[in-house]
Amino acid sequence: MEFKRGQFFLNGKHSSEFNVFMRERPERLSAGRVVELRERMGNDSIAVDFAYYKNVERTITCYAKANTLQEVSFLEDEISFWLDMGNYSDFIVYFDEHYIYQAIVTSPPKFTGTRKSGVLIPFEFTVSIRPFKKNRIGQYWISNPNQLINTEKYPSEPIIQILGSGDIFFFINNQSYSLKAINGDIIIDSEKQEAYRKSGGAFEILDHKTLFKDYPILKCGENNFRWTGKVTEFKVQPNWRRKV
């Protein structure tokens, strides 16, 4: 996927499909860590770290260009439909195209064009962005790795697919993970905190096959892998990530 200056991808569509461009880069507030300061009688406050981050909101200022004056209203309707979102989607922007954000439109497009605007359609909308963006390199599957190196500054939540049968054990560094009675394959999704497999277009939940409490993470730096049991293939999608 290629991006010219001002272009972006959101809700499954490239902005070029609507001849839409960002007018300027939005203000970029970083995702804040959730910490509560609690007062202690006769002493300073203490910090309670909840160990997660809040979404950030960004206002995206854009313009579109219609082919004719008669097309202006039609193009506004098409843009409104495109940005009518009920769930998060991938969001990729021209100035940070190596990372994939997760965003949802929280304020629909507001069109501010006048008669003087002609075929230009200025508008803005607001998105809420999840606290972490994913490195596009980390979206590729890696088969039977012995070691993966996380060069980002935060641990990642990988997706692991194991093809095999019977009871299987796998290890990431010194942490062990147990699986029981595997029949074919299992996907361990640390981001969703679920285990499942895909059957056609449906998902079969396999949480009962896992014998561990905490889902795998890939810490910063070296991550070493090994496994035992009847494993045909051990695949990892690392999901390297960086805080927004």
pLDDT score recorded for residue 84: 98
- Nearest alpha carbon to residue 125 among 243, 22, 16, 3: 22
As given in the structure block, the two tokens for residue 221 are 């730096």
Average pLDDT of the residues in 197-211: 92
Q: Residue 125: CB partners within 8 Å, gap ≥ 6? A: 59, 60, 62, 83, 105, 107, 108, 109, 110
Q: Residue 51: CB partners within 8 Å, gap ≥ 6? A: 34
Tell me the pLDDT band of 96, cut-offs 50, 70 and 90.
very high
Average pLDDT of the residues in 148-170: 97
Within its chain, how far is the Cα of 52 from the centroid?
15
Which pTM does this prediction carry? 0.88
pLDDT score recorded for residue 238: 98
The pLDDT tens digits for 116-144 are 899 999 999 999 999 999 999 999 999 99
Domain range 8-130, its CATH number among 3.40.50.2300, 3.40.50.300, 2.40.30.200, 1.10.3210.10:
2.40.30.200
Rounded CA gap, 154 and 221, in Å? 10
Domain range annotation of the chain: 8-130, 137-243
Rounded CA gap, 60 and 25, in Å? 8
Assess if CATH 2.60.120.860 describes domain 137-243: yes
Percent of the chain with pLDDT over 90: 84
As given in the structure block, the two tokens for residue 159 are 């997706």
The pLDDT tens digits for 169-184 are 999 999 999 999 999 9
pLDDT score recorded for residue 181: 96
The pLDDT tens digits for 6-44 are 999 999 999 999 999 999 998 888 898 888 888 887 777
Instruction: Indicate if the alpha-carbon torsion angle 157, 162, 165, 171 is positive or negative.
Output: negative
- Using DSSP's 3-state secondary structure scheme, residue 138 falls into helix
